[in-house]
Structure 1
């Protein structure tokens, strides 16, 4: 079987069957950070598989003289045909990179516009480390980035107990410390690249929910489950801009998760899971080399 066919079969698997399996897996809610890494690994693996398949289709010769790196498309080819093939592969791989950069920039511009409104309409100093908005609906959210903001509405101040408010703020701090906005932009890139396929349809909502769960886990390090779940229930319907990360997003699934929370998988299992995610990204190179090494 040719390397190009192997790579195309793997790309089909990683964009159709594996996303469905990952979306239905029960372990993802127990280790949301690892699950987010797995979603991104699927996207990287699919992109590399397609890029290397294009290279093999454009220049299928084995290039034995150049060694293993050339077979995998990593060495700089001397022949004009091989150079053109490498250029096509680079162009394929550059599309998601460009879309990710555009998503980051688009989100940053939206946050800047909203931050300018907050600086004019919000109240500073009422709640340390946060901007308070005169809004009756309870909402708590953050604007990540270099000039980050945590936003709390008057409705949230009135409705939340001190413990619930502290848990909600810790949740937002988890978003900021984890730089979850970048992971969200990467998921948006997968949606744009693979929109007709399960990988594109599932990655966005799944990653968004997992990021909220990861921020919950951060908040639970210093706050009780009851305070965090209570805060979620209060701010679940609160509005927030698309570029923000809000304490009330996916509240139903998160409260259900907290109610059924079990022990985290052991460290060894988490390390093995991280290794498996890394292996997903490396497998296309092995598939590109395999037929030539047989």
Structure 2
């Protein structure tokens, strides 16, 4: 039972960290540190919950968690209904979390593949790589659009409307923001939280957590762009986007 109390203690600590992070304002000044803490807290909470169920259910075996799991197919008849129910709940919860994560990754990968195919048909190279956006794909569309389609070979996409709307320095800052998403693989940071939200779509708590993580990811990209091009050009660009309206970001993409 020591393992169970250890896991329950980890659940309480992780849950407290989640509440503290949700109410903290320092996270906006240090988004990278906040993201690391969110990832550690979330992973600890999920693993500890599953571990507590399995630890309680397998306690009659008086062995470590892994040896007890290996013994389970041969000794499950030794468990009473409560311990058997806890083991079943732990295994089902763990399996469903893993399957749901893989399912979400598959759906996102398919959406990105379809979008890349469309980009190859309708987008054109930006031109001179020395120019802002020269290495990006350009959509001939009047609405301001700028986003990163992440992956092993990421694509940065801007619209003709964006290039007309922003001056040279503003466009360079927005593109640096999108390249930060690609370089730092922010899509992988978001993936576990988005999978949990998909698992419980009506949960206000998970929706709020995902919104917080998405905001911190954008702040990280903003910081990278601001270090390179200054905060004023990036702020002006975002104000122009807001004033002129922007199209929605495609599924699986990260937008300014």
TM-score, normalized by length of structure 1?
0.71
| CA RMSD of superposed structures (Å) | 2.8
Q: SS state of the match for residue 172, structure 2?
A: helix
Identify which of structures 1 and 2 has the higher relative contact order when contacts are C-alpha pairs closer than 8 Å and 6+ apart: 1
- The whole-number CA distance in structure 1 between the counterparts of 2:227 and 2:253 is 23
Aligned length: 239
Q: Partner of 2:130 in structure 1?
A: none
Q: Give, in whole Å, the separation in 2 of the partners of 1:139 and 1:78.
A: 56
User: Where does structure 2 lack aligned partners over 5 or more consecutive residues?
Assistant: 128-132
Distance in 1 of aligned mates of 2:205 and 2:33: 17
Residue among 223, 227, 244 paired with 2:253:
244
The answer to whether the 8 A contact 1:130-1:149 is kept is: yes
Deviating 4+ runs (over 4 angstroms): 1-10, 12-15, 82-88, 193-199
Q: Is the 8 A contact 1:50 1:92 kept in 2?
A: no
Tell me, what secondary structure is at the counterpart of 1:38? helix
Shift of 1:51: 1.2
Q: Secondary structure at the match of 1:222?
A: helix
Partner deviation per Cα, 1:97-137 (whole Å, 9 max, x = no partner):
22222222211111111111111111224342111111112
Deviations 1:20-56 (A, max 9, x none): 3312201111221221222222221222222122113
Deviation of 1:18 (Å): 4.2
Structure 1 contact 141–150 (Cα < 8 Å) conserved: yes
Label 1:184 to 1:136 Cα distance change in 2 as closer, same or farther (>3 A). Answer: same
Which residues of structure 1 form unaligned runs of 5+? 248-294
2:110 corresponding residue in structure 1 = 109
Question: 2 CA distance for matches of 1:109 and 1:78?
Answer: 39
Between the aligned partners of 2:145 and 2:232, the Cα distance in structure 1 is 18
Give secondary structure in 1 for the equivalent of 2:228: coil
Q: Contact 2:147/2:156 (CA < 8 Å) preserved in 1?
A: yes
Q: Deviations over 1:223-250 (max 9, x none)?
A: 1110111111222432221311111xxx
